[in-house]
Structure 1
Amino acid sequence: MVQTKAERIKNTLRRTRERRKHQIPRVYQLKLQNLSKKDEEKLNRLFLEAKWFYNCIVADIENRLSGNTWKLKEVEIKTPEGLEKREIKQLSSHMRQGIVERIKRSLYSLKKAKEKGIKVGKLSFKSEVRSIPLKQYGTTYKISGDKNRVKIQGIKKKFRVLGLHQIPKSAELAEAQLVKKPSGYYLHVVCYLPKKEVLKEIKEKQVKEPVGIDLGIKHQLTLSNGEKFSWYIPETERLKKLQKELSRKQKGSKRYQKIKEKIRREWEYINNKRRDVQSKVISYLKKFLLIAVQDDNIKGWKEGYFGKQIQNTGIGGITARLRSLATLIPVVFVDRYEPTTQVCSFCGNRQKISLSERTFKCQKCGVEIDRDVNSARNVLRVALSRLADPLKSALPVDCGEVTPVEWVYSPR
């Protein structure tokens, strides 16, 4: 029996969904190398056409967001002289479909936010598009691993890329995004890895011990075993100097744009350093059998007295990374209103303690312990008390008796 095109697509999607149940997504970053001036001109043109296409749809969403929007080959753009028509030459049909889907997802998110009572506006125009969706591997982009080359739809030349060695041979390549950054052009490739291989790699390095985490300002992370992690990556002196120069330039001039681009590159350098620290911390935390962390209001900390400290450490990114890590190992988030700081981790006595007191002195049992370590142990206690009985075997040997109602953490 001959299958129709719709049936073939339906069966392919069903098989893909079945495979995805046994796979884990990972994103790998590849950098386009050895670009000539002509190459940069072509890539700039691609991102320019993406901006034109996006703004054209946003200008009249009700009429233009239809089933055939991606077929537009000519768009109207606003110039100082008025509206002008521009031809879409390099932006392929698959890329246009990806941009249309991106706009639909943005509208859906605005709708959901509005239903929750959040004040939202309309989709705004973009002065610059910095990422283009490449929906399908083999069509919108293609990688030849033996030659370290990548072919992007709409551009004849194959670009040399750096970073292909990161992708395992067992990875299944899916969609990607062509990203424009101040430091160059990148390809963010989504790969699906076999879940068994990833979990096996984690378990080989894992220790049979759970850990509680207390987030803070002085020490960004304090673990229940007494370890502390501190880092501080402030704005560089070069960034401050460039910002002063920018304030003296005429807005919109060529020198203004050049300095603005230098500022973007400096910000990218700072953010890369912060993400590098986050990655190293998460890599270390992977070795624990279970991670417990309090769901603190990091945004409230930043809007309060600790805005600069939160920004210069990027501690909010740790909780976001831990949520994504929960697909591989157990990560338990304790309620932010749980009084972990005020409770003794030895006897369970609750007492008030001011922010200036860095040592917890229990008025009942007389124990003295570091304030943050005490909090981290209480976070772990609360998390373990909510778990099912089989997972209680994950406790260290010297932890004492555990019940669903009460648990006492013995010092290591």
Structure 2
Amino acid sequence: MIIYEFKVKAKPQQYKAIDEAIRTSQFIQNKCLRYWMDNKKVSKYDLNKHCKVLAKEFKFANELNSMARQSAAERAWSSISRFYDNCKKKVKGKKGYPKFKKHCRSVEYKTSGWKLSSNRKAITFSDKKNIGTLKLKGTYDLNYYQLNQIKRVRLVKRADGYYAQFAIQIDLKIESQPTGKAVGLDVGIKYFLADSNGKTIENPQFYRKSEKQLNRANRQKSKKYKKGAKPQSNNYHKARNRYARKHLRISRQRKEYAKRVAYCVIHSNDLVAYEDLNVKGMVRNRRLAKSISDVAWSTFRGWLEYFGFKYGKATVAVPPNYTSQNCSNCGEVVKKSLSVRTHVCPHCGYEADRDVNAARNILQKALCTVGHTGTYAWGDTPSGLVGEILLGDGESLSQESPSRD
């Protein structure tokens, strides 16, 4: 399953209709979640049936396509099933109890409620929300695919406009020539990554470099905010949008950089080893949270495993224990703090950059143990992760569909 994304061009009243469809989808999702909270032993099928009850009770809910209502119910069930899984696995700390959506940014249609034009450059939505015909602006060509291959269509609202996403079911695997090489990767803050061959890639620090502009835009937004005023002025909303667009640009830069590096690493090696880091727990460190988020470790790992599955390369996640402390040459433990950036072994005299030493330890672990191959499990993962259900409102699932500024 791949996601193709197009910028949408339409009239102002059509944008308002899209916003109304998004609000209706959010309403149905929250109502399904409330139905699950108030009743025992509710299944996914029960939530789908509850959509029909909501359509009869609320006129604006009936205006949304029936399959779009089911997609909203499936989103609610996705959060519920994730909560159940965390409880069964006895995950430490909070189990992720489902919460009501406050700021939904997308609505998802299945195989009905929309129709592509003959040249595949426009799409028409036929439900009662009056969205009408939208022009599609992008570099992808939908003519290569049959209509029955398009399993989902989503309308996503972002700071710089509206987008249409097409979830297309195709075989991702592509044969590639073996290189006979293996590499271990150690991600960090000083360097974006260091490999077991001694090479390092600098951390671009997109957020840090744009921090002054972000702070300035945030101050301008705050100056135009009037406490207690409902609604806020148009100047406030304009400043708010400028601030959001700057954040959106940084997130796209970070994503594209991680994607390019992952693509190069996968094509240059047959086996790629990396640490199985608990990034969610690491960002709780308030001194390092901003730097860890800026370097996008999880995004990079996701693209590594995606390209690894697509091109038939092995991606192995190994436990991060003692990868920085052990000497990759003799195996002895050499304790060092985070401030020590050079590994010097007093036992064998081996000297190397701290991150390079860790990368070599990671590769050795991957070669001598089975490891954990592919967390995101492209291919046999639940369809919700690869396009069946939109999680994160269209941000995290756009495989090979870079957004354009």
Name the TM tier (shorter chain): 0.7 to 0.9
Give me the whole-angstrom Cα distance separating, in 1, the residues matched to 2:63 and 2:155.
14
CA deviation map 1:92-131 (0-9, x unaligned): 1111111112212222222333442654586444333211
Q: Which has the higher contact order (CA 8 A, sep 6+)?
A: 2
* Aligned counterpart for 2:212 among listed residues 220, 230, 237: 237
Count, aligned residues: 346
2:17, 2:131 within 8 Å by CA — same for their partners in 1? Answer: no
1:373 aligns with 2:346: no
1:360 aligns with 2:343: yes
Give me the whole-angstrom Cα distance separating, in 2, the residues matched to 1:44 and 1:380.
49
User: What SS is found at the alignment partner of 2:140?
Assistant: helix
Tell me by how many angstroms 1:332 deviates: 0.7
Structure 1 residues 296 and 68: alpha-carbon distance in aligned structure 2, compared to 1, 3 A threshold:
closer
Give me the whole-angstrom Cα distance separating, in 2, the residues matched to 1:317 and 1:111.
25
* Aligned counterpart for 1:109 among listed residues 72, 82, 86: 82
Tell me by how many angstroms 1:369 deviates: 2.0
For 1:87-236, what aligned pairs fall within 5 Å after superposition?
Answer: 87-88=60-61, 90-115=63-88, 116=90, 118-119=93-94, 123-136=98-111, 139-144=112-117, 146-154=119-127, 155=130, 157-163=132-138, 165=140, 169=144, 172-195=149-172, 198-200=173-175, 203-204=176-177, 207-230=179-202, 231-234=204-207, 235-236=210-211
> In the alignment, what sits opposite 1:28?
4
User: What SS is found at the alignment partner of 1:286?
Assistant: helix
Structure 1 residues 40 and 346: alpha-carbon distance in aligned structure 2, compared to 1, 3 A threshold:
same
Work out which of the two has the higher radius of gyration on C-alpha atoms and give 1 or 2: 1
Give me the whole-angstrom Cα distance separating, in 2, the residues matched to 1:46 and 1:354.
53
1:294 aligns with 2:255: no
For 1:58-69, what aligned pairs fall within 5 Å after superposition?
Answer: 58-61=33-36, 62=38, 68-69=49-50
Tell me by how many angstroms 1:280 deviates: 1.1
Structure 1 residues 121 and 274: alpha-carbon distance in aligned structure 2, compared to 1, 3 A threshold:
closer
Structure 1 residues 375 and 181: alpha-carbon distance in aligned structure 2, compared to 1, 3 A threshold:
same
1:385 aligns with 2:392: no
Give me the whole-angstrom Cα distance separating, in 2, the residues matched to 1:210 and 1:89.
56
For 1:330-345, what aligned pairs fall within 5 Å after superposition?
Answer: 330-337=314-321, 339-345=322-328
* Aligned counterpart for 1:280 among listed residues 245, 252, 260: 260
> In the alignment, what sits opposite 2:333?
350
1:53, 1:75 within 8 Å by CA — same for their partners in 2? Answer: no
Q: Amino acid of the residue matched to residue 254 of structure 1?
A: Q
> In the alignment, what sits opposite 2:250?
270
Structure 1 residues 109 and 387: alpha-carbon distance in aligned structure 2, compared to 1, 3 A threshold:
closer
Tell me by how many angstroms 1:228 deviates: 1.1
1:27, 1:189 within 8 Å by CA — same for their partners in 2? Answer: yes
Identity %: 25
1:295, 1:335 within 8 Å by CA — same for their partners in 2? Answer: yes
Hey, which of these two has a bigger chunk of strand by percent? 1
> What stretches of structure 2 of length at least 5 have no aligned partner?
372-405
> In the alignment, what sits opposite 2:400?
none
CA deviation map 1:207-257 (0-9, x unaligned): 321110011110120011122112201244332123223334124432344
Tell me by how many angstroms 1:66 deviates: 5.0
* TM-score calculated relative to the size of structure 1: 0.74
1:148, 1:164 within 8 Å by CA — same for their partners in 2? Answer: no
Tell me by how many angstroms 1:167 deviates: 5.4
